[in-house]
Amino acid sequence: MVAMAPRAHAQREKLPPDDLAEVEKTYPTAKKTNTGLRYVIVKEGEGEQPKPGDKVNVLYVGQLLNGKIFDEAKDPAQPFTFRVRRDMVIEAWDQVLQLMKKGEKRIVIVPPELGYGTRGQPPKIGRNATLVFEIELLSFGKD
């Protein structure tokens, strides 16, 4: 009887094959989390990171992989505000905001299952769409 070494458990790729090729070409330095989220830090932040329940203020541009913008909040006087881990945003946002620091800006590549999934958000976001966000964490706190 031959003992076999346990095989390394390969993480399932979450991006559709065509999207994966485009992401690897466009964002070759992107880091990948264990949930399949990819990101590039554009500007480093400093200090603590938001915790579940914290209210965050962010600027962002959301686009499809082809570059078409579907949503944005770019005015620092009117940032997008929500509470982390309170089911107010897509899962990818709840995950990535807890990794960011005040002042940090990231490009975040979101696989469909961490975004709008199989239903999409018609008419702007189709089914199983890979999304790209540029997110800047302006501030956060308990209230």
Residue 41 pLDDT > 80:
yes
User: Which has more pLDDT, 9 or 90?
Assistant: 90
Alpha-carbon distances, residue 18 vs 12, 62, 66, 107, 130 (angstroms)? 15, 20, 12, 19, 10
pTM over 0.85: yes
pLDDT at 117 over 70: yes
Question: Model confidence at 11, in pLDDT bands (50, 70, 90)?
Answer: low
Pick 29-141's CATH classification: 3.40.190.10, 3.40.50.620, 3.40.50.300, 3.10.50.40.
3.10.50.40
DSSP codes joined into one string, the chain: ----PPPP-PPPP-S-HHHHHHHHHH-TT-EE-TTS-EEEEEE--BS----TT-EEEEEEEEEETTS-EEEEE--TTS-EEEETTSSSS-HHHHHHHTT--BT-EEEEEE-GGGTTTTT-BTTTB-TT--EEEEEEEEEEE--
Q: Tens of pLDDT along 105-115?
A: 999 999 999 99
The domain segmentation of the chain, as residue ranges, is 29-141
